[in-house]
Structure 1
Amino acid sequence: MEIKIVHDEEYQQFTIEMGEDDAELAYSKPAPDTLDFTHTYVPESARGKGIANKLIEAGLCYAEENGLLIVATCPVVKKFISRNPDYQKLLK
């Protein structure tokens, strides 16, 4: 299955179309140089397949490429960063 991640800046989220229910990584911008990843959602039928990790990686890569720092309010994002120390340099 090919996974296409779409970044919607207006709604501040990264999404993957999953049929009726999309997977998403939502964020807010508490400061011009900061993204706060607030919420990760994957439909129950798609859980355990690495979908959340792909969304989180896309969000972190976007932050890094755009010189942004991140806050990991979402516990799933926080856990991902703790397991992937290369991204810890992005933490505010």
Structure 2
Amino acid sequence: MADDLTVTMNTDNRRFEAALGDETAFAEYQLAGDTITFPHTVVPDAFAGKGVGGKLVQAGLTYAREHKLWVKPTCAFFHAYIAKRPELHDLVHPDMREGLATP
């Protein structure tokens, strides 16, 4: 399912979105200077277990990398996703790298 899903950047609402019927999954973001903060992600039950949350994170991180932005993953979902993938740690703002190390 996630492979067929398109994630769009809704700049008016400051979030990355993926729609399925009447439902919308989204990851909110805040831009400030050279930093993008991801404070909140919502994945409705209709999307559960289908990789949609991961696709939202990937879209947000791709945007950050393309625009040379530091990432502040204050959302627990974003933080957990990044923590499991050391190749993404370089995107994380130095002030937030503690706790990313995987056991």
Alignment TM class, shorter chain as reference? over 0.9
The within-5 A match list for 1:6-85 is: 6-29=8-31, 31-85=32-86
* Amino acid aligned to 1:25: A
Q: TM-score, normalised by structure 1?
A: 0.93
The Cα offsets for residues 49-89 of structure 1, whole Å up to 9 and x where unpaired, read as 11000000010010001000010110000000001111110
Fraction of identical pairs, as percent: 33
* Amino acid aligned to 1:89: D
Q: TM-score, normalised by structure 2?
A: 0.84
Q: Secondary structure at the residue paired with 1:67?
A: coil
The 4+ residue runs of structure 1 with deviation greater than 2 A are none
Q: Gaps (5+ residues) in structure 2?
A: 94-103
- Give 1 or 2 for the bigger CA radius of gyration: 2
Matched residue pairs, number? 91
Q: Gaps (5+ residues) in structure 1?
A: none
